[in-house]
Amino acid sequence: MLLRYFYDSKLAHASYLVGCQVTGEAIVIDPGRDVEPYLSTAKAEGLWLAAATETHIHADFVSGARELAERAKVRLYLSDEGDAHWKYEYVHSYPHTLLKDGDTFNVGNIRFEVKHTPGHTPEHLSFLITDTAGANQPMGIFTGDFVFVGDVGRPDLLEKAAGVAGAAEAGARQMFNSLQRFKTLPDYLQLWPAHGAGSACGKALGAVPSSTVGYEKMFNVALSHADEATFVRALLEGQPEPPKYFAQMKRLNKIGPPVLAGLPQPEHLPFNRLDALLAEGAPVVDTRPVAAFATGHLPGTINIPYDNSFTNWAGWLLSYDQPFYLITDPSAVPQIVRDLRYIGLDNIGGYFDLSVFDAWRKAGDPLQHYEVATPDQIAGQVAAGHATVVDVRQADEWQSGHIPGAKHIMLGYLPERLAEIPADQPVVVQCRSGARSAIAASILQAQGVPRVINLLGGIKAWDAAGLPVER
């Protein structure tokens, strides 16, 4: 048996290719939308992709299952568990097998045993795998978003992201029961989850890519609860805000996302298009680093730096219903487009290269900038009430300690809550270290807030300076 691991660091998404080297067949588990790595790896290993499967209808990325069905003509093995509202709608257009608890299927000599493990979602499956060429017992389990290294899947996404009332507590109770079943598995089984540290599908995921069932039984806090009510309270408490785009991902992965071959490539736009787009209020995203944007940018643009957080904040802040535009280095465009399409942001209207800044100056228009300040530089103004502090961190971060008098608006909700921010005095934006607040500063300035100041070092620097923190 051959096992290959794939990891997308921007979404903390893990997927796997399992191959039978005797028959040459392979299957991909929880594929992402960019299927090239699976195709090229299979080819390099002398395998052909025969199948693809998913543990559940994903909420944080666009699945590549349909893409593989189109491009590689694989058979799809997908869940038929859960209620009628969360069934795969597109699957009937392709060769497929719908799976229930206790079912088995083979890819070459490798047997997959299906376990229904609801909790994160009602339809969630896990897969025990056995290499029957040399064993009659399983060697590992693909747990998807059921059990992670150090955590378990959050049960509140259907309620928070998809609007299914009451789903969070019901999911937590399902998770408790699924974990009782998990605890009966042999300790030696290897455990391969679909996400790692940084994913919003749980609240305390470990950074180690794999584990064992026995290790998680001993050290995963979520598995330590013997009482259902205590477990439910602990699991629901402190879950991070689910990104807005999660609802869109659930819908796309249910009905079937567009195939990539049918999508146009973003056009390189001339500078003379920019004025009209900005005048129309079209979203224009400058992907340069924070420092470059702060010192000089085009009025009306927002800054989402192209780093490991880019995909997450693009999903929070960009609309799926209208085109948006990029300012970026042309060499980065293919990878940026790939990352945006990984979360279904296919409506890229085009991009401008970095020469727009020189062209803007030559046209006689000044670049805009926003202020930055250290805690010591701004503390007096804040204490005197001569500045509005906006804290853009998550709710649990806010509760752990914040600047007295600050207003809490999590970054992802800032565009829709602008009316709550007074514009008659300076607005100081603040996060943990200054990165998220830099994005917030760009949004506020683009929306006409006259004086925006990004707090350098965020609450960490404020606390380290001995300034008051309210807890």
- What lies within 8 Å, CB to CB, of 263 at 6+ separation is 341, 346
Task: Answer with the one of 255, 275, 291 that is the final residue of a domain.
Answer: 255
Angle at 351 between CA 349 and CA 352, to 5 degrees: 140
Say how far apart CA 358 and CA 364 lie, in whole Å. Answer: 10
Q: Is residue 57 part of a domain?
A: yes
pLDDT of 272:
93
Q: Are residues 191 and 60 in the same domain?
A: yes
Burial readout 99-120 (b: 16 or more C-beta within 10 A, e: otherwise): beeebebebbbbbbbbbbbbbb
**Residues with a known catalytic role:** 431
Say how far apart CA 259 and CA 263 lie, in whole Å. Answer: 7
**pTM (predicted TM-score):** 0.93
Q: Are residues 302 and 223 in the same domain?
A: no
C-alpha torsion 334→293→359→272, nearest 10: 60
Q: Is residue 79 part of a domain?
A: yes
Angle at 304 between CA 301 and CA 308, to 5 degrees: 170
Q: Which of 98, 49, 97, 104 is nearest to 72 (CA)?
A: 49
Q: Are residues 29 and 109 in the same domain?
A: yes
Q: Which two tokens stand for residue 443?
A: 């949004």
Q: Is residue 288 part of a domain?
A: yes
Q: Are residues 67 and 211 in the same domain?
A: yes
Q: Are residues 350 and 377 in the same domain?
A: no
pLDDT of 349:
97
Say how far apart CA 158 and CA 156 lie, in whole Å. Answer: 6
Which domain, by its residues, includes 289? Answer: 263-362
Task: Answer with the one of 201, 236, 255 that is the final residue of a domain.
Answer: 255
Contact, 32 vs 253, CB < 8 A?
no
Q: Domain tally for the chain?
A: 3
Q: Is residue 349 part of a domain?
A: yes
Q: Is residue 358 part of a domain?
A: yes
Strands 211-212 and 48-53 come out as unpaired
Say how far apart CA 222 and CA 172 lie, in whole Å. Answer: 11
pLDDT of 252:
95
Q: What is the DSSP-derived secondary structure letter of residue 416? A: G
Say how far apart CA 289 and CA 168 lie, in whole Å. Answer: 38
Say how far apart CA 208 and CA 204 lie, in whole Å. Answer: 12
Annotate 18-59 with three-state secondary structure: EECCCCCEEEEECCECCCHHHHHHHHHCCCEEEEEECCCCCC
Contacts of 139-142 spanning 24+ positions with Cβ under 8 A: 139/1, 139/189, 139/190, 140/189, 140/190, 140/191, 140/192, 141/115, 141/185, 141/189, 141/190, 141/191, 141/192, 141/213, 142/16, 142/29, 142/30, 142/55, 142/192, 142/194
Q: Are residues 161 and 30 in the same domain?
A: yes
pLDDT of 241:
85
Q: Are residues 349 and 410 in the same domain?
A: no
Task: Answer with the one of 362, 395, 424 that is the final residue of a domain.
Answer: 362
Predicted confidence pLDDT, tens digits, the chain (471 residues): 999 999 999 999 999 999 999 999 999 999 999 999 999 999 999 999 999 999 999 999 999 999 999 999 999 999 999 988 889 999 999 999 999 999 999 999 999 999 999 999 999 999 999 999 999 999 999 999 999 999 999 999 888 877 778 889 999 999 999 999 999 999 999 999 999 987 777 777 778 999 999 999 999 999 999 999 999 999 999 888 888 899 899 999 999 999 999 899 999 999 999 999 999 999 999 999 999 999 999 999 999 999 999 999 999 999 999 999 999 999 999 999 999 999 999 999 999 999 999 999 999 989 999 999 999 999 999 999 999 999 999 998 999 999 999 999 999 999 999 999 998 999 999 999 999 999 999 999 999 999 999 999 999 999 999 999 998
Q: Are residues 105 and 151 in the same domain?
A: yes
Q: Are residues 180 and 276 in the same domain?
A: no
First CA to last CA distance, the chain: 53
| CATH number (domain holding residue 280) | 3.40.250.10
Q: Is residue 471 part of a domain?
A: no
pLDDT of 239:
86
Q: Is residue 470 part of a domain?
A: no
Q: Are residues 83 and 205 in the same domain?
A: yes
Q: Which of 101, 94, 110, 115 is nearest to 184 (CA)?
A: 115
The radius of gyration computed from the CA coordinates of the chain, to the nearest angstrom, equals 24
Q: Are residues 180 and 235 in the same domain?
A: yes
Q: Are residues 174 and 209 in the same domain?
A: yes
Q: Is residue 80 part of a domain?
A: yes
| CATH number (domain holding residue 239) | 3.60.15.10
Q: Is residue 434 classed as helix, strand or coil in its secondary structure?
A: coil
